[in-house]
Amino acid sequence: MAIHPIVPAGSAPPLAPYSPAVRAGNTVYVSGTLPIAADGSTVGPGDVRAQTRHVLQAIASALAAAGASLADVAFNQIFVKDLADYAAVNEVYREFFPERPPARYCIRADLVKPEYLVEIATTAYLGD
């Protein structure tokens, strides 16, 4: 099975040596996605809703570049800096996954930079 790195047009520059996404057969793995604009700046400083929206839009872009969509998402791993933001993250998340939401977990974690409030990693399955 071939493994293909996916770098969507206009994606944020990676903070470390990784691909924004990888397609391996019928599965797409989207790396932990942070609220980073294409120019490397932080999106929505202090606004977890804006950051969550940007992260999910970036994930949708990575999936599209791999031939998938949010409807193909099977699993999300969500990391929040502060559990007090959990309800706000869910409010935005629900907009992107209104029906048949994927499996997921959400944990509190220190993120790579203090201004980042949310990070999401995604696994999508394209079917047989």
Q: What is the pLDDT of residues 16-44, one digit of tens each?
A: 888 999 999 999 999 999 999 999 999 99
Q: What would the two tokens of residue 127 be? A: 């079917």
CATH number of 35's domain: 3.30.1330.40
11: pLDDT confidence band, cut at 50, 70 and 90?
A: confident
Active-site residue, selected from the candidate residues 106, 111, 121, 126: 106
13: how many CB neighbours lie within 10 A of its CB?
Answer: 10
37, with CB counted inside 10 A (0-12, 13-18, 19+), is: middle
E-only strand ranges, 2-117: 3-6, 21-24, 27-33, 73-80, 103-108
Structural domain boundaries, residue 36 = 3-125
Q: Would you say residue 14 has pLDDT above 90?
A: no
pTM beyond 0.85: the answer is yes
Active-site residue flag, 106? yes
Q: How many domains does the chain have?
A: 1
The one-letter amino acid at 108:
R
